[in-house]
Amino acid sequence: MGIKTAIRHEQLPPHYQHHQLLSTTDGVMASVYLLDDQYILKLFEEDVSTETVEQEIVLLNQLEPLSIPKVIEHFKIKNHQVVITTQIEGKSLENPSTHEIEQIGVFLKLFHQKSKQLTSSNKNLFTTKRLGKLIELTQQRIFQEYFQNLNIELKEEGIIHGDLFVDNAKFKNGKLSGVYDFTDACSGDFHFELAVVAISWCYNKKMLNPQKVMSLLKSYGSSMELKAFNEYIRYALLYYATTRYLNHKNYQELLDRLDKLL
């Protein structure tokens, strides 16, 4: 989404003013800046609660030593909360290989082993009840028809990232260097988490690559069959198509993918 709220270099605390402040196109709930190649500065909008930001900080601290950003500092610029974290080295992928997808599967296995023992006060964003309400807001019949065709019961197994698209992970020299942006983290279903990865990492344009999906499931340690997992993929596609529609972003690609699975 890019920068929603601009800040000036002189607004930074003195100990950061020797860094170059560089804007990015990342972030939905926050404006994301780079401080040289050392730190990430996330400036949240005023309507983002203190509790939401603090929950992300607590989670990041609890997940060490996984490959995630380390929280350096939390402060305010005017009425906006700011979080400074370390910067993950490497680059996000455009066309992930099976080997890189397997690394994400292993990361999520380790993450969920820790997160199933943790709690979060963040509201579960991904329930069928909430999705139904979001679909009502679209006032679009096509979303309602897809929703009525779903056959899924989501569990609350532990904290999930919930937004692990390819642009929320970086690789360096073919190895996963880190996963970031845990703003949407909340209690949820672990296979829904895997399905979010599948809709971003396991597609060749409009077509799902079954080999990549099975590599994801196997590396994670899931014994779920592809036919059963496809229902989670359908749900993830519909959820993110709906939220993209409501946020005036490109949703048609996800609907096209959903149509191919029905």
Q: Using one digit for the tens of pLDDT, what is the confidence trace for 57-114?
A: 999 999 989 999 999 999 999 889 999 999 999 999 999 999 999 999 999 999 999 9
Examine residue 93 and state whether it is found in any structural domain, yes or no: no
Q: Chain-wide mean pLDDT for the chain?
A: 94
Report percent pLDDT > 70 for the chain. 98
76 and 153 within one domain: no
C-alpha 27/C-alpha 44 separation (Å) is 9
Q: State yes or no: pLDDT of 41 exceeds 90.
A: yes
Count of domains for the chain: 2
Examine residue 4 and state whether it is found in any structural domain, yes or no: no
**Both tokens of residue 234?**
């359908």
Examine residue 47 and state whether it is found in any structural domain, yes or no: yes
Residue 212: in which H helix or E strand, if any?
helix 210-220
For residue range 119-157, list pLDDT tens digits in order.
888 889 999 999 999 999 999 999 999 999 999 999 999
pTM for the model stands at 0.92
Examine residue 129 and state whether it is found in any structural domain, yes or no: yes
> What are the CA-CA distances from residue 136 to residues 130, 144, 208, 239, 247 (Å)?
10, 8, 28, 13, 14
185 and 205 within one domain: yes
**Both tokens of residue 43?**
């400036």
Which residue range forms the structural domain that includes residue 23?
A: 9-86
Single residue among 86, 118, 147 that ends a domain in this structure = 86
C-alpha 1/C-alpha 40 separation (Å) is 16
C-alpha 178/C-alpha 168 separation (Å) is 9
192 and 114 within one domain: yes
Binned at pLDDT 50, 70 and 90, residue 26 comes out as low
Examine residue 3 and state whether it is found in any structural domain, yes or no: no
216 and 170 within one domain: yes
Single residue among 86, 121, 139 that ends a domain in this structure = 86
Examine residue 253 and state whether it is found in any structural domain, yes or no: yes
197 and 139 within one domain: yes
118 and 79 within one domain: no
C-alpha 195/C-alpha 193 separation (Å) is 5
65 and 185 within one domain: no
**Residues contacting 69, CB < 8 A, separation 6+:** 40, 60, 85, 86, 87, 88, 178, 180
Examine residue 162 and state whether it is found in any structural domain, yes or no: yes
Examine residue 1 and state whether it is found in any structural domain, yes or no: no
Q: What is the pLDDT of residue 3?
A: 77
